Amino acid sequence: MAENLKCSHCSNPATVHLTQIVNNKIIKVDLCESCAQAKGVTDPEGFSLADLLSKTHLTPEGGEPQITCTACGLTTADFRRTGRLGCAACYTSFIPLVRPVLEDMHAGTVHKGKVPEVAYSRQTSAAQLQDLEEALQRAISEEAYEDAAKYRDQIQAIKEAVDAEAVQS
C-alpha cells in the first residue's frame, strides 16, 4: 500500500495532489483538505495551479524570457498566471516556453493528428474514384472502350462499397 503523503503546508494527511510542469521540471504539491480550501483549490472556477505554485515559492525563478504577444499583448507573466494563451499568434510568440513542455509530454512538437478508419477509407475511396473517372475519360477520348468498361465497373464497385459502408455506419 502507498505511503500516506503529508500536506506541503502542515502535517495533516494530504488528500489533494496537484502536478504541474514548469520549465521542464515536474512540480508536485500535496495538500490537506483545509489547506486546499484556504488556497482556493476546491473552487474549480477560481483555481489556478500557477497561482498556487507562485504563492508557495515553487515556481523556478530567473532565466525565463520576457515575451509579449504582438497580436493580443499577452505577457509571460499573464501566461504563467492563467496557463492559457490569448490568441493563435501566441503559439508562435511563446514557442520558447511552450516547445520544451510539449517535447517532454509528447513525441514531438508537430501535431499530425489521426484520421478515423472510416474517414480514411472514404478519403481513399474518393481519391480512387477521382483517378478512375479521369482514366475513364481518357479511355473514352482515346476510344479504348474495353479499358473504359473496366474503369466504369471499378467505379461502380467502389460506389457500391461506399454506399454499403454508409448504411452500416
Determine the Cα–Cα distance for residues 69 and 77; give it in Å rounded to an integer.
12
Report pLDDT for 104: 64
pLDDT in tens, 107-152: 666 766 676 666 666 667 788 889 899 999 999 999 999 999 999 9
Domain termination residue (choose one: 61, 78, 94): 61
In order of 26, 126, 158, 165, the CA distances from 133 in angstroms are 56, 10, 12, 21
Same domain (yes/no): 143, 159: yes
The candidate with the shortest Cα–Cα distance to 129, out of 155, 103, 148, is: 155
Cα 47 from Cα 81, distance rounded (Å): 11
Judge if 164 and 141 occupy the same domain.
Answer: yes
52 and 24, same domain (yes or no): yes
Which of 18-27, 40-49, 99-108 ranks highest by mean pLDDT? 18-27
68 and 97 fall within a common domain: yes
**Within this chain, do residues 36 and 90 fall inside the same structural domain, yes or no?**
no
* Claim to verify: residue 71 and residue 57 sit in the same structural domain: no
Whether the CB-CB separation of 29 and 53 falls below 8 Å is answered with yes
What pLDDT was estimated at residue 79? 79
Q: What is the CA radius of gyration of the chain?
A: 28
State the CB neighbour count (10 A cutoff) for residue 80: 17
Task: Select from 71, 94, 112 the last residue of a domain.
Answer: 112
> Are the C-beta atoms of residues 85 and 94 closer than 8 Å to each other?
yes
- Sign of the four-CA dihedral 40, 48, 113, 87: positive
86, 123: one domain:
no
Same domain membership, residue 28 and residue 8: yes
Residue that finishes a domain, picked among 26, 45, 61: 61
**pLDDT single digits (tens) 29-81:** 888 888 877 766 665 555 554 554 444 333 444 556 788 999 999 988 887 77
- Same domain? For 1 and 52 the reply is yes
Shared domain for 122 and 140, answered yes or no, is yes
Nearest to 125 by CA among 156, 95, 148, 146: 156
| 31/147 Cα distance (integer angstroms) | 74
Count of domains for the chain: 3
Q: Are residues 122 and 89 in the same domain?
A: no
Query: What pLDDT was estimated at residue 59?
Result: 41
**Residue (of 15, 22, 97, 100) closest to 56 by Cα position:** 22
Length of the chain as a residue count: 169
- Residue 23: give the domain boundaries: 1-61
Q: Is the predicted pLDDT of residue 90 greater than 80, yes or no? A: yes
Residues 164, 132, single domain; the answer is yes
Q: What is the pLDDT of residues 125-137, one digit of tens each?
A: 788 889 899 999 9
